[in-house]
Amino acid sequence: MEFSDLQIFRTVVQAGGVVRAAEVLHRAQSSVTARIKVLEEKLDVQLFLREGRRMQLTPQGKILVGYADRMLDLAKEATNAIKSDRPTGVLRLGAMESTAAARLPEPLGRFHERYPEVALELFSGDPLDLIKQVLGSELDAALIADPVSDPRLESIEIYDEELVIVAEARHARISSPKDLPSKTILAFHPGCPHRKRLEDWFLRGRVAPGRIVEAGSYHLILGCVAVGMGIALVPHSVLDSYAERDRLSVHRLNSKFGRAKTRLVWLKEAPQTKILALSAVLLESYGAPQGAPAV
């Protein structure tokens, strides 16, 4: 299919017929009719039911309208992006839940004020799924905790996160897994990098984790920890927004387990104007050293 054929097809639909479409396109009616027939022959389907001068879309034509709108709008967006250094269009950003909740509201608000032409869409998930979505072009970029090693991706460090163990308020000091009478862990599903880090911490201490209780949000995890169900490893920034923090005790770890870098990642061949604009705003907020994106 050629874009010009799709443009003519969409104009006929919007105008309600060939006569009005020919006027809008400044073409002869016969030319418009011929291009519609060519498109139908290429697709091997009938797009319109013709009743005199009236033209009604067939079911196949209704399907094509949706795709034509998307393809033509995307082509327009690409043209505008090439002609302008200023970011426009839709930016689909993925992030882990802790990042989305604790780190993104302020910088995304600033990004929206600075670039109102960009429609920002935010999605949350675990790093493995987010990376798959970036590689599959379902997301434009994602904020991912290390490690990021796929050679198809570019990345830039945004901030260094402190991770802490949380337990119920009266819990004694925790410096190793041996300090835990109960070995119950509260965590996200296995794709969560913080869960993997906590399991590695147990392994390093030569202690097997006990029961692992999976939860779907940090608010639920912290609530369960507060009533003594177990311990969890969480970003320290998450605690700042937790209303019942006095019901928790916080235990710091050494840098091997207690620090995690978060990077913004995107496809190397992807248009970068919007992504680099976002990275600049994020770096302004968190002060990570700027430099050339690193793989």
Give pLDDT tens digits for 149-180. 788 999 888 888 889 999 999 999 998 889 98
pLDDT reading at 3 higher than 90:
no
Q: pLDDT class for 216, splitting at 50, 70, 90?
A: confident
Please list, in sequence order, all residues whose beta carbon lies within 8 angstroms of the beta carbon of residue 177, skipping any fewer than 6 positions away: 183, 201, 202, 205, 207, 209
DSSP 8-state class, residue 273: H
Place of tokens 């620090």: 259
> Whose CA is closest to 153, among 133, 183, 123, 180?
133
Asked if the model's pLDDT at residue 295 lies above 80, the reply is no
Q: Treating both helix axes as pointing N-terminal to C-terminal, what angle do 59-83 and 3-15 enclose, rounded to 10 degrees?
A: 120
Identify the weakest region by mean pLDDT among 76-90, 126-140, 148-162, 253-267.
76-90
The token duo for 294 is 């690193």
Q: How confident is the model at residue 255 (pLDDT cuts 50, 70, 90)?
A: confident
Which residue bears the tokens 């460090």? 157
pLDDT greater at residue 1 or residue 150: 150
Tens digit of pLDDT for each residue in 27-81? 888 888 898 898 888 889 999 887 766 788 999 989 998 888 888 877 776 666 6
Q: C-alpha distances in angstroms, 265 versus 126, 163, 200, 291?
A: 14, 21, 25, 14
